[in-house]
Amino acid sequence: MSNFNIIKLDAIASTNDELKLLHRKGVVKDGTVLWAKHQYAGRGQREKKWISEENKCLTFSIYKVFDPPLGNGFSLSKAVTVGLFRALQELSVPNLEVKWPNDILSANSKIGGILIENFYRKKTLFASVIGIGLNINQEVFENLPEATSLFLKCQKKYELDWVLEIVLNHLKYPLDRLIEEDAFFHTYFEKKLWRKNQLSEFSKGKETFIATPIGITESGALRVLDENDNEKLLYSHSYQMKYKV
């Protein structure tokens, strides 16, 4: 990937939605980064709202083109996770783990998330919008008991543009090495999997159940053992891993 081209905005509803619009218009280039100081209608997994306090969180999206196209979209999710973890480690954020499929945790609390939206052509992935949200200096999270921030974990304030620079620097290599390093990214993701080999609570609609995460498949399904030690696959569009531990 060539150097990132950063576009800064004071406020926007959703950086992902704006890049998707620019993609449909054919006016966005590989490596474009849209960074909003205030994202007032951000989205997370399953169309949940991503709530962030103005000028205290880092919310941005990257437009990435794949040449050749990718056969497996989860390869991108793993690579982005690795790059983000390396950036947060440089920032001394403690006890990092990934809560399947895309929440970034520090000591069991959510510090950020990834939302990737893909564009396919002939069943192959040729472009993606990679949305990343990180709680940086926010101190209070009303009605979000699972949320935290870099400030709360590290007890210091951060300049948002400096954190963005560090994150982008760490994303360059994995985005350029998606195919060559996929096996390493897979192993890394599994190693950082939250509650791996521990009984955990899941839900599917109104149904809740207990299972033990043991790994992930190449396509991103979660491998679990049920209460009878039978292996099953959980897919993120149907199942949700609960924060309750």
Q: What is the pLDDT of residue 41?
A: 72
Predicted local distance difference test score (pLDDT) of residue 114: 96
| C-alpha span between 193 and 170 (Å, rounded) | 20
Please give the pLDDT value at position 44.
Answer: 53
Mind listing the domains of the chain with CATH numbers? 5-191 (3.30.930.10), 200-241 (2.30.30)
pLDDT of residue 244: 73
* pTM of this structure: 0.93
Distance, CA of 232 to CA of 217 (rounded, Å): 11
Query: What pLDDT, on a 0 to 100 scale, did the predictor assign at position 1?
Result: 45
pLDDT, residue 46, reads: 46
Rounded Cα gap, residues 236 and 45, in angstroms: 9
Count of beta carbons in the 10 Å neighbourhood of residue 161? 12
2 - beta bridge partners?
Answer: none
What is the block-wise mean pLDDT of the chain (245 residues), using blocks of 10 residues? 84 93 96 91 56 84 94 94 97 97 95 95 93 95 90 96 97 95 96 97 95 97 96 95 82
Tokens of residue 13, six digits = 């509803």
Contact yes or no for 215/193 (Cβ under 8 A): yes
C-alpha to C-alpha distances, 226 to 210, 213, 234, nearest whole angstrom: 7, 9, 11
Residue 245: its pLDDT value, please?
A: 58
For residue 50, give both structure tokens: 């991503």
How far is the CA of 72 from the CAs of 58, 77, 140, 152, 191, in angstroms? Answer: 28, 10, 38, 36, 20
Residue type, 74: F
Specify whether the CB–CB gap between 168 and 82 falls below 8 A: no
